[in-house]
């Protein structure tokens, strides 16, 4: 908390410093105080403005930094259009004094920014009248903007998204809490991948965004969503309890996911206890959806979501899906409600295997006593999916029926209830002999044995910076998995990362261990 306060103080001081220089070269600064201000004032610190209406008029004529007195609420929509801050002194919108200021957009946006560059917005509360109580907009809406920094924003009560960036480039979205919104907590979207690129979403929380009551034809109630974008990183973020009031059945929301995007990295995130409508689809933790290419999910935790922990989906009409990786991730008791889904769930609505291809799923751990660890939708044509070095622990049904397209080699399978099934087969060996799965050069490559994880397997972890405390999924010293993993690079050309889930160097021996933990003893 002290570190965050220091960052905010630095941010505000930068704005104040630019005000000091404003007599000569920097932007002017405007101050608002709705208790002491007047709209007839010039907007100085000693003679502040009172309303958002007055500041909208002033900045249209002469742009400048905007500071709202903390602890106060300002009704209306702050609007900025066509403002370009200097690279060294960006325009700043923030609070001053004690606490955060609130901008109450009522039924509209709280902040609307269009065609602007070098904008910094921080330390504010954005509030709408409620997704079911009249609001029809986003909390912070930024369109066709570049070089953006958003920090320490709380956005709540908007029918669409708490924060929405459309066709924006070179943006940082940090320390945002988005809750009580309809369509999405944080939504990144482009008209093309080149028009929405270079975006970092870090240390954000999307919680209890239930659904858009007016959206009857598509999903709503998502946590963090990236669509039609390129070069995006979602880092150390959380999503929980989203999607429970989507007003329809059919395709549904997911905690953290992306679609029609290229080079998206989702890492060190926790997506847990997300939901969907009664009888609806999805409601999962993470999802690489239609048209996603060259993207990566790593070092993430998914648990107790109604839908799949990790969805690998392609919908009709999307561009080709390929070149994606999921590694060093954990799924715990996911897919406990949504019919047909599993911890890993594959669906291809296009019906063409070439449209869903080339995915590498390795060194993950799945624990599921409620649903299959892997499931395939009836429509799940795909090709060149490779599962290796994973630990799959389940109750009875471990893997659903795989039509074609997935290759399993060198995974560890273990049933907690004394029974194991692999589709129609009662053991790993019979499944392997009948299908060729988990076979290498005529020898059984898979392992059906207790991996000897430390336990416990259930968690309440919510802080992404504490993921290394998930030691229940580390291996005991007497685990039979020492150096039993496969050499990944020789299998599909992509090597192991530098470290495992807990920060240990990979590999320490001749070969890696299956699962998320490289043994150090």
Instruction: Report pLDDT for 263.
Output: 98
Instruction: Identify the DSSP state of 409.
Output: E
Query: For residue 430, how many C-alpha atoms fall within 13 Å in the half-sphere facing its CB?
Result: 8
Whether 238 is covered by a domain: the verdict is no
Whether 133 is covered by a domain: the verdict is yes
Measure CA 246 to chain center. 19
The position carrying tokens 């990144």 is 188
Instruction: Report pLDDT for 402.
Output: 63
Q: Which residues, 6+ apart, have CB-to-CB distance to 202 below 8 Å?
A: 172, 173, 174, 175, 233, 234, 235, 236, 237
Whether 302 is covered by a domain: the verdict is no
Question: Can you tell me the distance from the alpha carbon of 338 to that of 280, in angstroms, rounded to the nearest whole number?
Answer: 7
Whether 13 is covered by a domain: the verdict is yes
Instruction: Report pLDDT for 494.
Output: 75
**Partners of 293 in the beta sheet?**
262, 322
Whether 281 is covered by a domain: the verdict is no
Instruction: Report pLDDT for 401.
Output: 66
State which H helix or E strand residue 392 sits in.
strand 391-399
Q: How many domains are contained in the chain?
A: 1
Q: What residue numbers bound the domain in which 127 lies?
A: 1-159
Question: Can you tell me the distance from the alpha carbon of 313 to that of 225, in angstroms, rounded to the nearest whole number?
Answer: 15
Question: Can you tell me the distance from the alpha carbon of 320 to that of 181, in angstroms, rounded to the nearest whole number?
Answer: 31
Residue 190: what are its φ and ψ, rounded to 5°?
A: -135, 160
pTM, whole model, 2 decimals? Answer: 0.95
pLDDT by residue for the chain (521 residues), tens digit each?
A: 444 444 444 444 444 445 643 333 456 999 999 999 999 999 999 999 999 999 999 998 899 999 999 999 999 999 999 998 887 778 999 999 999 999 999 999 999 999 999 999 999 999 999 999 999 999 999 999 999 999 999 999 999 999 999 999 999 999 999 999 999 999 999 999 999 999 999 999 999 999 999 999 999 999 999 999 999 999 999 999 999 999 999 999 999 999 999 999 999 999 999 999 999 999 999 999 999 999 999 999 999 999 999 999 999 999 999 999 999 999 999 999 998 899 999 999 999 999 999 999 999 999 999 999 999 998 999 999 999 999 999 987 777 666 679 999 999 999 987 677 787 888 899 999 999 999 999 999 999 999 999 999 999 999 999 999 999 999 999 999 999 999 888 777 777 899 999 999 998 888 999 999 998 76
Instruction: Report pLDDT for 19.
Output: 66
Whether 228 is covered by a domain: the verdict is no
Instruction: Report pLDDT for 170.
Output: 98
Instruction: Report pLDDT for 3.
Output: 47
First-residue to last-residue Cα distance in the chain: 36
Question: Can you tell me the distance from the alpha carbon of 101 to that of 69, in angstroms, rounded to the nearest whole number?
Answer: 6
Whether 29 is covered by a domain: the verdict is yes
Dihedral (Cα; 15, 19, 21, 24), 10-degree rounding: 130
């Amino acid at each position: 908390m002290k570190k965050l306060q220091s960052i905010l103080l630095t941010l505000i001081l930068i704005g104040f410093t630019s005000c000091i220089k404003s007599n000569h070269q920097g932007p002017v600064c405007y101050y608002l105080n709705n208790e002491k201000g007047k709209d007839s004032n010039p907007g100085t610190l000693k003679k502040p403005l009172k309303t958002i209406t007055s500041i909208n008029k002033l900045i249209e004529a002469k742009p400048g930094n905007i500071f709202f007195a903390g602890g106060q609420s300002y009704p209306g929509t702050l609007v900025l259009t066509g403002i370009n801050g200097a690279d060294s002194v960006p325009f700043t919108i923030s609070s001053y004094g004690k606490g955060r200021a609130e901008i109450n957009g009522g039924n509209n946006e709280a902040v609307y920014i269009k065609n602007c560059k070098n904008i910094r917005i921080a330390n504010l509360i954005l509030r709408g009248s409620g997704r079911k109580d009249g609001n029809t907009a986003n909390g912070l809406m930024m369109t066709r903007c570049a070089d953006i920094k958003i920090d320490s924003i709380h956005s709540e009560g908007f029918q669409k998204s708490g924060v929405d960036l459309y066709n924006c480039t070179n943006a940082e979205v940090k320390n945002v809490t988005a809750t009580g919104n309809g369509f999405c907590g944080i939504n990144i979207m482009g008209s093309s991948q080149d028009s929405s690129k270079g975006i970092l979403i870090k240390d954000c929380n999307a919680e209890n965004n239930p659904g858009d009551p007016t959206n009857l034809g598509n999903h709503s109630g998502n946590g963090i969503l990236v669509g039609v974008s390129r070069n995006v990183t979602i880092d150390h973020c959380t999503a929980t309890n989203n999607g429970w009031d989507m007003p329809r059945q059919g395709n549904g929301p997911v905690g953290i996911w992306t679609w029609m995007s290229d080079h998206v990295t989702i890492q060190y995130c926790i997506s847990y206890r997300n939901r969907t409508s009664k009888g609806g689809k999805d409601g999962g933790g993470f999802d690489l959806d239609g048209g996603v290419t060259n993207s990566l999910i790593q070092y993430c935790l998914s648990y107790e979501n109604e839908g799949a922990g990790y969805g690998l989906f392609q919908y009709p009409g999307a561009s080709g899906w390929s070149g994606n990786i999921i590694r060093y991730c954990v799924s715990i008791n996911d897919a406990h409600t949504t019919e047909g889904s599993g911890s890993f769930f594959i669906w291809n609505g296009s019906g063409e295997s070439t449209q869903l291809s080339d995915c590498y799923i390795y060194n993950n751990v799945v624990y599921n006593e409620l649903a299959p660890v892997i499931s395939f939708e009836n429509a799940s044509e795909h090709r060149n999916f490779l599962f290796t070095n994973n630990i799959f622990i389940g109750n009875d049904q471990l893997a659903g029926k795989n039509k074609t397209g997935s290759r399993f080699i060198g995974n560890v399978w273990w049933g907690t209830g004394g029974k194991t099934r692999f589709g129609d087969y009662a053991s790993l060996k019979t499944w392997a002999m009948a299908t060729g799965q988990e076979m290498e050069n005529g020898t059984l490559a898979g392992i059906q044995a207790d991996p000897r994880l430390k336990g416990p397997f259930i968690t309440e972890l919510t802080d992404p910076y504490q993921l290394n405390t998930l030691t229940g999924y580390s291996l005991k010293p007497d685990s039979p998995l020492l150096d039993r993993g496969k050499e990944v690079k020789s299998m599909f050309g992509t090597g192991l990362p530098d470290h495992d889930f807990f920060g240990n160097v990979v590999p320490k021996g001749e070969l890696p261990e299956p699962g998320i933990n490289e043994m150090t003893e």
